[in-house]
Amino acid sequence: MTDRNTDVGGIPIEEVVIEAKEALRDRSPARRGETSWTRLWDHLRREWQIYLMLLPTIIWFIVFLYKPMYGLQIAFKDYSIFRGVAGSPWVGWEHFETLFSNDQFLRAVKNTITISFYNLLFGFPAPIILALMFNEVLHATYKRTAQTIVYLPHFISSVIISGIVITAFSPTAGIVNTVLDWLGFDAVYFLTQPEWFRPIFVGTGIWQEAGFGSIVFLAAIAGVNPSLYESAVVDGANRWQMMWRITVPSILPTILIMLIIRIGNIMEVSFELVILLYQPATYETADVVNTWVYRQGLQSGQYDLAAAAGLFNAVVAFVLVMTANTLSRRFSRTSLW
């Protein structure tokens, strides 16, 4: 503990002095021109360690997210790798016209949104429910073991996941059809039936990610002030009431933030898994924007068209995030920014 001479209301005395100086500078009109710069300089000099820690992230953003934005212009160009980004001729909106006159692209957009919607509807609540359930488990060893087991699928690569899914749903040897057989149903060749693709895909996603996704919510639950539970116990609340009246409202900001992030990713269906699981027979429900781009754009080297589709994806995602963020801020005062 610091003693009172150096501490004013929990803030080190040093900072208080600097804040006061800065406040003084602000009020002096003669120096207004350089005020903000001087303040920034002072601030940087004072907090340089923190900015140093931030630096790698900033570099990462510049190299991997901002610099590539330069290449986005190929969405409006007839791009040739040899001619380069700058040397390729402009073609205006041609690639976008190609996209939106293509029925399969429009179907892919529809499929993407539908699959994402199911993912949101069924996949988003799953880790929350799981976290709440873990929170109620009292036996420590049992809890740890169960948590490890549900985290594990997250670390398995999509290729192996798809292998497991294909085997499990196989019409001759799969466990699912074996069970159906016991119950007296006919075998179903699930992975070639368009109506089964989405349930299988969304279900696989939940199985794979619900456990790992629950970590964030468990952390939020751990941050709930224990005195709230203590006073609830004194007031005679049961566990169910404590969960609904204390835990859920306390982690609601986390839930909303995660929801906003999730909505921003609505155009990003995990397309590796789609590619591994789909067949021409299931394109009707399974083909998403990214798999379409992969087949039409990358496999045949049409990077410009692929970039146009990617840009479209990004714009839609941006609008969705903005909307979700605004709504969240208005109704719950929780928002990303």
Partner 1 sequence: MRRLTLAAALLTGSAITTPAIADDHLRIVEEPLELTIQMNHARYPVYEEDWPVERVAREMTGIHLINDTVGANMRTDENTGRTEALNLMLASGDIPDIVGSSRIRDFVNQYGPEGAFVPLNDLIAEHAPNIAAYYAERPDIEAAVKAADGQMYYIPYLPDGKYGRAYWIRTDWLDALGLEMPQTVEEYEAVLRAFKTQDPNGNGEADEVPFFVRQWPELIRLVTLWDGRAHGSDTYHDFLVEDGKISHGYIGEGYRDGISNLARWYADGLIDAEIFTRGSSARDFLLSENLGGSTHDWFASTGGYNRLSSEIEGFRFEAFVPPASVSGKRVEEHRRILVKPDGWAIGYTNEHPVETIRYFDFFFSEEGRRLANFGVEGEHYEMVDGAPVFTQAFLDQGPVNRSLYQAGAQLQARGYYMDYAYEWQWTNEFAKAGIELYDQGDYLIPDFLGVAFTEDEQKVYDRTWGSIRDYMLERQQSWILGNGDVMADWDGYIAQLDGMGMQDLLEVMQSAYERQYGG
Residues in touch with partner 1 (CB under 8 A): 80-84, 98, 102-104, 166, 170-172, 187, 189, 191-194, 279-281, 283-284, 287, 295-296, 298-302, 305
Cβ at position 291, least distance to partner 1 in Å: 10
Please say which residue, 75 or 210, places its beta carbon nearer to partner 1.
75
Burial 53-65, CB ≥16 within 10 A → b, else e: eeeeeeeeeeeee
Cα distances from 95 to residues 192, 240, 255, 302, in angstroms, run: 32, 56, 38, 10
Please say which residue, 87 or 223, places its beta carbon nearer to partner 1.
87
Please say which residue, 96 or 189, places its beta carbon nearer to partner 1.
189
Please say which residue, 99 or 150, places its beta carbon nearer to partner 1.
99
Cβ at position 123, least distance to partner 1 in Å: 24
Cβ at position 303, least distance to partner 1 in Å: 8
Cβ at position 96, least distance to partner 1 in Å: 13
Cβ at position 206, least distance to partner 1 in Å: 22
Closest to 320 (Cα-Cα) out of 271, 270, 267:
267
Please say which residue, 6 or 104, places its beta carbon nearer to partner 1.
104
Cα distances from 282 to residues 109, 230, 240, 268, 278, in angstroms, run: 15, 54, 43, 19, 6
What count of other Cβ atoms lies within 10 Å of the Cβ of residue 22?
A: 14
Closest to 76 (Cα-Cα) out of 323, 328, 307:
307
Closest to 209 (Cα-Cα) out of 133, 160, 270, 153:
153
